[in-house]
Structure 1
Amino acid sequence: MKIAVLGAGAVGLTVAAKLSRVAEVHAVARRRHADAIRERGFLLTGIWGEGTYRFSCSDDLPSAWQEADYYIITSKSTDTEAICRQFADAIKGREVVSLQNGIGNEEIIGRFTDRMIGGMIITGFEWRGDASVHVSVEAAPMKLGRYPSGTDEAVESLAALIRKAGIKAEATDSIRADIWSKTLYNCALNPLGAVMNVPYGALTDPHAWTIVTEIVKEAYRVVDAEGVSLPWKTPEAYLEYLRTRQLPATAAHHSSMLQDLSLGRRTEIDFMNGAIVTFARKHGIDAPYNSCIAELIRFRERL
């Protein structure tokens, strides 16, 4: 099995490293990471195990990888279109997996291939240096499904291979709902954790939780308008699940937006709370809390 990981940052390099033990893997990453992997290997610590992994990695896609079995895109959502354009010839008509944050990536990728597999992962990946990642938390198994719904042999085979690599993974026939579920989690915690510079566990404070609650209620009105069926029928049911299940599992995690802001990088806010606001306007729904937190992040991006 040949798997190419495109736009490989902390998530992509970690997934590539684990898969390299059970498949032939190439990752396209920043040159400094590729150089570090070539010189001393990829260093992994945390709950996914500890070790040094060596696999093919460069800042471009070699000609030998123009016909991989799967292409997994793990870039920031802001880079999805650029990644697709850069590797358009390779991914055309191929199995392409989005393992990214936010709403809208699958629709972008779908313009470049008709073999779209959606992915959802709620796991904390933190840089510890070039080509060195610590996996801190895991709230649920990875989900994979034919986008927008259904499953098939290609999806099932990839999920099985990922499990063989030591990563919890499941095939699902409702991946669109799973992606919206993860986006709900990200909208509730990611930007607020970034603005307040606290780990997720601190957001159970009553003052912070009031903001989380309103963000989720607005998002649910959008979800209902979009006809997406989530596992939790009401915002109150999801908030209870978030408070009792997801937050304890990720309490020590620091927001990916916080990491982006600290490095002076553009965040994925337009694919999270910003996307909620866009859909809300489409349906004539008010979303002031999501709009406010999105504007605060955009302000921080300009500092």
Structure 2
Amino acid sequence: MEVSRDHQDKQLVPINIYYPEEYKGHPDVWIIFKKQMQLEKELERDAKAGLFHPDQYAFSAMNGLGHFEKIEKYFDEDKMIAGTAMIATVLNGPGDVDFMGPKNGEAMHMAPYNDKKPDQVMNQFYDDLKAATLGPEMTNNWLGMCMTKVSFNAVCNTLCTMFEINMGQFGEYSGAKDMAKQLFNEAHDACERAGIKMIEDRQQQVQSVLDSCVKLKYHYPSMYQDFSKGRPTEVDYINGYIAKVGRDNDYVCRTHEFVTQEVHLAEQMRQYHQK
């Protein structure tokens, strides 16, 4: 793979890559990153290829929510590690990855899926992530941890996608703070009714968006990258997931419901703007 940071210092990093049917290894931990819409078929294919074994752990820090229910069909929940990742990258092309922001500025959260204390393998995995300068933090509240990241993405990813802008451009808008507040307030209201405790409060989340718009000003979120390449977005697993939490708890997240429809409308309208 070709790896650079902020469009500079591109270097070639050799990696091994396999089709599931070719792979003969037996890792301690599977690291699962797949688009939400593609995950179920990927897991089915991997299982059919005989890749999963009872002693193995699974870690995933995918965007949105809905993937852990799929993963636990193949792994014991005591061996599942939930995660979130604030690692901004732009995929310029096949095998061409551009990291955004200052070096060692990456951050992750992780938690045992059953909210028990991490075991020896989980602690070893944490040490590996730390040694890789990915900035992991361990918590025991996996759902609140994930919903905190989902609500962040529901602001940055979605609004940047709708207006086809990077995070710095969104941060320049005088109303960015108020837009973030509105979306975060709905997300927190829904989570409070569902008994989900976020790991950041509303004010911290708004500030995290404003800070990220400075730190990652050149970054185009992954949802925009999908949208701009004509691929389906994960909005149903981000804003749509927040809206579902609200509906399931007798609370209507009106803005998240509307924004989800707006993104799908924009997806459908691409057919009229193709060159």
The bucket for the TM-score relative to the shorter chain is 0.7 to 0.9
Aligned to 1:144: 110
Counterpart contact for 1:97–1:117, Cα < 8 Å? yes
Deviations 1:197-236 (A, max 9, x none): 1111233323344332211111011111222222334x23
User: Residue 112 and residue 49 in structure 1: after superposition, are their counterparts in 2 closer, same or farther (change >3 A)?
Assistant: farther
**In 1, distance between residues paired with 2:63 and 2:143?**
13
Question: Is it true that 1:232 corresponds to 2:193 in the alignment?
Answer: no
Tell me how many residue pairs correspond in the alignment.
259
Aligned to 2:273: none
Deviations 1:40-81 (A, max 9, x none): xx111117985322121123342412x321111111111221
Question: Is it true that 1:271 corresponds to 2:246 in the alignment?
Answer: no
Aligned to 2:252: 286
**In 2, distance between residues paired with 1:191 and 1:59?**
32
Choose which of 19, 26, 51 in structure 2 pairs with 1:90.
51
Unaligned runs of 5+ in 1: 1-41
What are the equivalent positions in structure 2 for 1:246-257 lying under 5 Å apart? 246-257=212-223
Aligned to 1:99: 61
Per the alignment, in what secondary structure is the counterpart of residue 124 of structure 2? helix
Choose which of 134, 138, 143 in structure 2 pairs with 1:167.
134
Deviations 1:92-143 (A, max 9, x none): 5321111210112112211221121112101111113221100013765222
Read off the aligned partner of 2:51 and give its amino acid letter.
A
Aligned to 1:80: 39
Per the alignment, in what secondary structure is the counterpart of residue 57 of structure 1? coil
**In 1, distance between residues paired with 2:29 and 2:207?**
37
Aligned to 1:181: 148
Counterpart contact for 2:151–2:242, Cα < 8 Å? no
**In 2, distance between residues paired with 1:161 and 1:62?**
26
CA-atom RMSD in angstroms: 2.2
Q: CA deviation at 1:291?
A: 0.9
TM-score normalised by structure 2 residue count: 0.86
Per the alignment, in what secondary structure is the counterpart of residue 258 of structure 1? helix
Unaligned runs of 5+ in 2: 271-275
Question: Is it true that 1:109 corresponds to 2:71 in the alignment?
Answer: yes
Read off the aligned partner of 1:122 and give its amino acid letter.
M
Per the alignment, in what secondary structure is the counterpart of residue 17 of structure 2? strand
Read off the aligned partner of 2:84 and give its amino acid letter.
M
Aligned to 1:64: 24
User: Residue 241 and residue 191 in structure 1: after superposition, are their counterparts in 2 closer, same or farther (change >3 A)?
Assistant: closer
Per the alignment, in what secondary structure is the counterpart of residue 286 of structure 1? coil
Counterpart contact for 1:155–1:171, Cα < 8 Å? no
